[in-house]
Amino acid sequence: RRIFVPEALYAAAAQAIGARLAKTTVGNPRNESVRMGALVNRTQFDAVRDGLDHLKTQCEVLHDGASHALVDADATSCCVGPTLLGTRDAAGSDASDRVHDIEVFGPVATLIPYRDLAHALQLVRRGQGSLVCSLYGSDAAALAHAATELADSHGRVHIISPDVAALHTGHGNVMPQSLHGGPGRAGGGEELGGVRALNFYHRRSALQASSAVLAQLAAPAAA
């Protein structure tokens, strides 16, 4: 997961996100105080740890998931605390190829600073396709421009401006009528949803006739 932020806001964003992650309790989900449970199995746990080791060679650790004490779980469990990495500066964002090529399927994100909008779009595209991207901002024109630029490499573009900030569905929530899928590394396909899914349950036939007959066929629908 990649979080893009203006270079001037990198330190403030790192501090704010780290403070929020520090409040996340990790451990046995049967305990009502726990907000993050274990990974699905040891294979995924090992894959997450391996991915983290690779990313850390090009990133700094802004919030260490290992600092979280486990609740009602021991060290042999497959728990991984939320981890935030960062590329330090815009130059690091360009040089760190692993943050764009490696996606860790666990509670891991990398904070990536950019110089300007054009640089941000360039960095986002290095992900080679994603299910969804979320754009945050207050400039409607800039948001519209970024959305159209990124639409070809994302199955869904979620745009959050101040007027919907308190009401939006969230980055990971797909509404039934929305597309869930994406190009490139996202899988090159889409899942069914909404009216789109009904196409597989319809039997369709093409009718060829004169305009008078076609008008007669269309009349009941227009009534």
| DSSP codes of every residue in 85-115 | EE--SHHHHHH--HHHH---SSSEEEEEEES
Nearest CA to 192 out of 181, 182, 203 is that of 181
For the stretch 186-191, contacts whose Cβ atoms lie closer than 8 Å and that sit 24 or more positions apart, written own/partner, are: 186/129, 186/130, 186/131, 186/154, 186/155, 187/131, 188/129, 190/155
Let me know if residue 33 belongs to a domain.
yes
- Is the predicted pLDDT of residue 155 greater than 90, yes or no? no
pLDDT for 200 equals 77
Let me know if residue 198 belongs to a domain.
no
Let me know if residue 206 belongs to a domain.
no
Q: What average pLDDT does the segment 5-19 reach?
A: 97
Report the 10 Å Cβ neighbour count for 82. 22
Strands 26-27 and 83-86: unpaired
Nearest CA to 45 out of 18, 70, 20, 81 is that of 81
pLDDT for 112 equals 96
CATH of the domain at 88: 3.40.309.10
Q: What does pLDDT average to over the chain?
A: 91
**Two tokens, residue 59:** 């990133």
Question: CA 58, CA 85: separation in Å to the nearest integer?
Answer: 9
Question: CA 160, CA 130: separation in Å to the nearest integer?
Answer: 18
- Judged by phi (left if over 0) then psi (alpha if -120 to 50, else beta), residue 133 lies in beta
Q: How many domains does the chain have?
A: 1
Let me know if residue 217 belongs to a domain.
no
- Is the predicted pLDDT of residue 152 greater than 70, yes or no? yes
In percent, the amount of the chain with pLDDT more than 70 equals 97
Confidence of residue 168 (pLDDT cuts 50, 70, 90): confident
Q: Tell me: the pLDDT tens digits for 37-47?
A: 999 999 999 99
pLDDT for 106 equals 95
Confidence of residue 8 (pLDDT cuts 50, 70, 90): very high
Q: Which domain holds residue 53?
A: 2-192
Q: Tell me: the pLDDT tens digits for 173-182?
A: 877 777 777 8
- Is the predicted pLDDT of residue 83 greater than 90, yes or no? yes
Let me know if residue 57 belongs to a domain.
yes
Let me know if residue 212 belongs to a domain.
no
Q: What average pLDDT does the segment 5-17 reach?
A: 97
Let me know if residue 109 belongs to a domain.
yes
- Is the predicted pLDDT of residue 109 greater than 90, yes or no? yes
